[in-house]
Structure 1
Amino acid sequence: MGERGFRIKTDINKEGWEEAEFPVVCETCLGDNPYVRMTKERFGKSCKICERPYTAFRWRPGTGARFKSTQLCQTCSKLKNVCQVCVLDLQYGLPVEVRDKYLAVEDQVVVPESDANREWFAGQHNAMVEAGGAGGYGAAPRNQTLLRLARNKPYYRRNLPHKCSFYAKGECTRGDRCPFLHEMPTDPNDPLANQNTRDRYYGKDDPVAAKLLKRIDEMPALRTPEDPSVKSLYVGRLPMDGSVTQDDLKDVFYQFGELESIRVVPRQSCAFVEYTLRDAAERAAQTMYNCLYVKGHRLQLSWASRRKEDALGGAAGGGGPMLAGAPGAPAMP
């Protein structure tokens, strides 16, 4: 047998195994402890999506919390822009199913579910993810409906220990020294009791997403005035320091259609936005209601009546400066 017969065979797939120095996690899973200590294991686990080995991390997010560990590789995590632990969106903190429902089709990334296609897809996108060129979620514009549902602050109760099974049977003898949570278990018939990583990642049959989508359907809607001549919106709760200007309001409302004028009433901390077309005003009211954020400030939005506009404008001594002649914008689909 020649020299070529004793050639050592190399594993091509092993070259794509992931190595990392820090996990991709959300603020909630990271915990409130600024001096968190992590254990790192090179190729310690296989990803629950692509099943390729990756660098696993494990840590305790805070006092009294249970240990957390990564469940996905960073390639799958960055493709969907989700946390490696809880598999929730990193920008909004929402399930993938809820996020993808309100994002444009071109901003979504579809990951194959079959073994062969999934492994090929992950291998092809591994280099693109490392270069920051794969996945359109990070560059997608902020969606107002998702902002309405987003959790703005970390929810550390999600890091609490699991419930003690001995306490549920009345047999726990540890008392206060028990590291598990002394609460009655969730009803096994409750849909929230049956959750798994794959369903949440692919956005299918996720009970948490179903609960949030039901909440969206039950949210109150802004009632449209019967008078077709009403084309103005009332914007309240403007900051007193004047940090939200006319140009800021124009940047937010310009996307829905041509603006007739924007009138700011500083003394009343409000503004009036008038459109040239009623359809544009309705699109803005429907999209921005209860989720209007400008420079980090949550503002109030409602339809403006002529009586309210004249009263507040007169109280402010003429209604403040005007912004008129804004160029038209293409209608939203």
Structure 2
Amino acid sequence: MATSKTTNTYNRQNWEDADFPVLCQTCLGDNPYIRMTKEKYGKECKICSRPFTVFRWCPGARMRFKKTEVCQTCSKLKNVCQTCLLDLEYGLPIQVRDAALKMKDDLPKSDVNKEYYIQNMERELARSDPGSVNSKLNEPNDLLMRLARTAPYYKRNRPHVCSFWVKGECRRGEECPYRHEKPTDPDDPLADQNIKDRYYGVNDPVADKLLKRAAAMPALPPPDDKTITTLYIGNLGNLTEQDIRDHFYQYGEIRSVSLVPKQQCAFVQYTTRAAAETAAEKTFNKLILGGRRLTIKWGRFAGPYWPLQP
């Protein structure tokens, strides 16, 4: 005799079971031999409220244990880490990324509409690549390149502040697994963060801080003298003249490249002012070659080359 599906069986069909989490390098930690526990249907997703597989691990020595907070479907919809909910490509809050790419959040907020929407998107993600769901995420953006971290920020994995130490009552000393330092000022905007605001890209204090930093970033206006077509390239390290030429030729025809090894700098002179302006705009405060962020300024020729003061 065939048995009918109960409501509980129907609901379980929409629960998520995964073999590996979707994490950023910072949350994963620097230990290549990390141990991770897996609990099937161990928690409700903090966005869609569906039970999902929870992973828990310690990202490194004297770091706090971390776990996945949202399901993989919600993570892939926004291309974010399941734990910190920061963008996987740039390591930035969703609010910053969406503002830079001029994206709008179309995820429904009501429970019924949200459940229906996520079920449909889950089927679409199963049929196609996650990046194809929102093609704008793959578009290069100058603002995101300037704000993005170039290396993992493991300091974010530190333990929480010891509440007993704050009250002067901690007796563990160096064996205490929590931090013994002054806690964050409760009036500091960064002390008021929550997962839903970060996921939906609204009222995120970290995003507000980064957007203000972007607005205050210095610019590189072209000099009034139209005959100047030379750029000063500093902080070269071990980069060679060929490395400089190979990168800067894409912006226009180069007349000469002068390398000054003692000062670890170079001067790139273009044949046209338009090419020099394009190179300055594309590289200022965002060019990384050989693992070093290069200094870009306008230069002038007066016997030897010299950088123009901003």
TM-score (norm 2): 0.83
Q: Secondary structure at the match of 1:148?
A: helix
Contact in 2 for aligned 1:78/1:135 (Cα 8 Å): no
In 2, Cα distance between equivalents of 1:285 and 1:193: 38
In structure 1, the residue matched to 2:296 is: 301
The amino acid across from 1:195 in the alignment is: Q
In structure 2, the residue matched to 1:172 is: 170
The amino acid across from 1:93 in the alignment is: G
Q: How does 1:1-333 map to 2 (within 5 A)?
A: 7-9=4-6, 11-105=9-103, 110-130=106-126, 131-132=128-129, 133-136=132-135, 139-141=138-140, 143-237=141-235, 239-242=238-241, 244=243, 246-251=245-250, 253=251, 259-261=252-254, 263-266=256-259, 270-272=266-268, 274=270, 276=272, 278=274, 282=277, 284-294=279-289, 296-305=291-300, 307=301, 311=304
In 1, Cα distance between equivalents of 2:219 and 2:247: 25
In 1, Cα distance between equivalents of 2:193 and 2:39: 26
In structure 1, the residue matched to 2:308 is: none
Distance verdict in 2 for CA 1:262–1:102, change over 3 Å:
farther
Per-residue deviation, residues 186-243 of structure 1 (Å, max 9, x unmatched): 2211111110011111111111111112222222222431224545544445554456
The answer for unaligned runs of 5 or more in structure 1 is 254-258, 313-333
Contact in 2 for aligned 1:65/1:160 (Cα 8 Å): yes
The amino acid across from 2:134 in the alignment is: G
Distance verdict in 2 for CA 1:8–1:146, change over 3 Å:
closer
% identical aligned pairs: 49
In structure 2, the residue matched to 1:319 is: none
In 2, Cα distance between equivalents of 1:249 and 1:64: 44
Distance verdict in 2 for CA 1:245–1:14, change over 3 Å:
same
The amino acid across from 1:125 in the alignment is: M
Q: Secondary structure at the match of 2:133?
A: coil
In 1, Cα distance between equivalents of 2:60 and 2:217: 35
Distance verdict in 2 for CA 1:297–1:164, change over 3 Å:
closer
In 2, Cα distance between equivalents of 1:96 and 1:262: 42
In 2, Cα distance between equivalents of 1:293 and 1:205: 32
The amino acid across from 2:40 in the alignment is: R
In 1, Cα distance between equivalents of 2:228 and 2:242: 28
Aligned-residue CA RMSD (Å): 2.9
Q: CA deviation at 1:41?
A: 0.9
In 2, Cα distance between equivalents of 1:299 and 1:197: 36
Q: Secondary structure at the match of 1:112?
A: coil
Q: Secondary structure at the match of 1:264?
A: strand
Q: CA deviation at 1:39?
A: 0.8
Q: Secondary structure at the match of 1:28?
A: helix
The answer for unaligned runs of 5 or more in structure 2 is 306-310
Q: Secondary structure at the match of 1:186?
A: coil
Contact in 1 for aligned 2:245/2:257 (Cα 8 Å): yes
Aligned length: 298
The amino acid across from 1:50 in the alignment is: C
Distance verdict in 2 for CA 1:297–1:250, change over 3 Å:
farther
Contact in 2 for aligned 1:109/1:135 (Cα 8 Å): no
The amino acid across from 1:102 in the alignment is: A
Q: CA deviation at 1:244?
A: 2.2
In 2, Cα distance between equivalents of 1:86 and 1:304: 43
In structure 2, the residue matched to 1:323 is: none
The amino acid across from 2:199 in the alignment is: Y
Distance verdict in 2 for CA 1:174–1:295, change over 3 Å:
closer
Contact in 2 for aligned 1:289/1:302 (Cα 8 Å): yes
Q: Secondary structure at the match of 1:16?
A: coil
